[in-house]
Amino acid sequence: MGGYNVLIPDSSRDLHPEMMLPIMDGLQQLEEVPVVLSMEAIRDMYKHTRYVSHGSYEIFQFYVNDLFRKHNIDFGISIGLSAILEDGSIHELHHLMEECSIPNLLFLNARDPRVLEKLDDIGAANWEYTHMVCSSRKMCSLLEQRGYRRVVHAPLGTSTRIFHPAHSAPDNAPFPQRDDERLTTGFDVSFVGNYSVNRERVLNAVKSSGVKLAVFGDPNWQDSELSDVYRGPSNYLQETNTVYNNSLVSLDIPMHSGQFSDYLSNRVSDCLATGCVLLTPRNDDVLALLGPEAADLMYDSGEVLPELIKSCIADPSASKQAALLASARLQDQFRWDRCLSRVMPNLEMCLLKHA
């Protein structure tokens, strides 16, 4: 892959920075750096017009078509359904890309089966040029059963320029380790993620076991039983790598018990890329991708997690060795540029077909 002009809607970047910004970094690592345009840049180009929010659909259509022609947009990349469902201009942009036969990679950051209903409601099965990239094999299977034709399974990647061991930061690392006590001291175990009832239940048991816990995430944690260990937000790119590198153990806990678990998540790939010990629910997909040693990093239920954490802290040799092996494999095989290279053949066939 290389030399393509890529359109990235801002809403994907703002709603899902944990995926979009590392993806953008991965794009830059490919052989020929593509031109990456964002909706923000587009709005700036056409700021003298009634573009998007103040204009009619016809005006929007005119300027977007002008953009496609002037900049020879080859394909777009979006993350999740949130932008398409909630942002009117992004929804219209996606519709126009379909009309203009411009392929779009939609990374479906979806582990929840309820997303299928949302896809059906907007007629996504009829999309001709949108390739849905799923990390969950089960989600891929369910989409194909419903008649979705352009479904691609691909494990998510990590950006090794952003997530790396503190002692071996690459020369081109965009963010240095943060010297901030909030992120570095007073805890042995960390959790980074948004609030959910299931996460509160599991983490409360961990805290009650006497473990020094720190929770980073959205402000809803302030109103939970974990408010006393809540450290505030963790800027995904600038701060989370620091948290991981200063944790003896970090935790991966599902939002709710019904979500799919057959995938390599961002939290798993990014945390393990730093060499930090991460405990994650038992997952055959992760074992297949990262090797049998990863079994030392897995738990069967939230009930056993407190004792497993204590065991890892008391005798870290097995879990630390498993984390280092996983880190080496992730840095070699599951960088975002590798992930994009796996997905691109599907897109390139579409580009050739409609050249």
Least confident among 14-28, 144-158, 162-176? 14-28
Amino acid 278: pLDDT: 96
- Judge whether residue 101 has pLDDT over 70: yes
Say if residues 200 and 253 touch (Cβ distance below 8 Å). no
Kindly state whether residues 71 and 91 are assigned to the same domain.
yes
Q: Same domain, yes or no, for 110 and 175?
A: no
pLDDT above 90 covers a percentage of the chain that reads: 33
Beta carbons within 10 angstroms of residue 186's beta carbon: 11
Give every CB contact of residue 267 below 8 A, 6+ residues apart in sequence.
Answer: 192, 193, 252, 278, 280
Rounded average pLDDT over 5-30: 65
Question: Is 185 found in the same domain as 302?
Answer: yes
Number of domain units in the chain: 2
Residue 106 predicted with pLDDT over 70: yes
Q: 148 with 242, same domain?
A: no
- Which of these ranges, 63-67, 114-118, 255-259, has the smallest mean pLDDT? 63-67
Clarify whether residues 75 and 139 are in a common domain: yes
- Neighbouring CB atoms inside 10 A of 94's CB total 23
Same-domain status, 282 and 346: no
Mean pLDDT of 208-224: 96
* Rounded average pLDDT over 216-224: 95
pLDDT of res. 75 = 78
Which pTM was predicted? 0.81
CATH code of 305's domain: 3.40.50.2000
What pLDDT is stored for residue 105 in this prediction?
Answer: 82
Average pLDDT over residues 13-31: 64
Do 313 and 177 reside in the same domain of the chain?
yes
Helix (H) or strand (E) holding 105: strand 104-108
Q: Within this chain, do residues 186 and 196 fall inside the same structural domain, yes or no?
A: yes
Top pLDDT among 149 and 339 is at 149
State pLDDT tens for residues 288-335: 888 899 999 999 999 999 999 999 999 999 999 999 999 999 888 888
Using a 10 angstrom Cβ sphere, with 0-12 exposed, 13-18 middle and 19 or more buried, the burial of residue 71 is middle
Q: What pLDDT, on the 0 to 100 scale, is given for residue 1?
A: 47
Task: Give me the pLDDT at residue 23, please.
Answer: 74
Do 170 and 151 have their domain in common? Answer: no
Is pLDDT above 70 for 111? Answer: no
If we measure between CA atoms, which residue out of 134, 139, 131, 125 comes closest to residue 153? 134
Q: Is pLDDT at 123 greater than 80 in this prediction?
A: yes
> Which domain, by its residues, includes 261?
166-333
What is the domain-level CATH number for residue 61?
Answer: 3.40.50
Sheet holding 278-281, edge to edge: 213-216, 189-192, 249-251, 278-281, 298-299
Model confidence at 30, pLDDT cuts 50, 70, 90, reads low
What's residue 186's pLDDT?
94
130 pairs with which residues across the strands? 104
pLDDT over 70 percentage in the chain:
74
Tell me what pLDDT residue 341 has.
75
More confident call, 221 vs 161: 221
Has residue 121 got a pLDDT over 70? Answer: yes
Q: What rounded mean pLDDT belongs to the chain? A: 80
Lowest model confidence (mean pLDDT) among 34-48, 122-136, 145-159:
34-48
CA distances from 151 to 8, 128, 301, 333 (A): 20, 11, 31, 22
Residue 14 has pLDDT above 50, yes or no: yes
User: Which pLDDT value is given to residue 17?
Assistant: 60
Are 187 and 152 part of one and the same domain? no
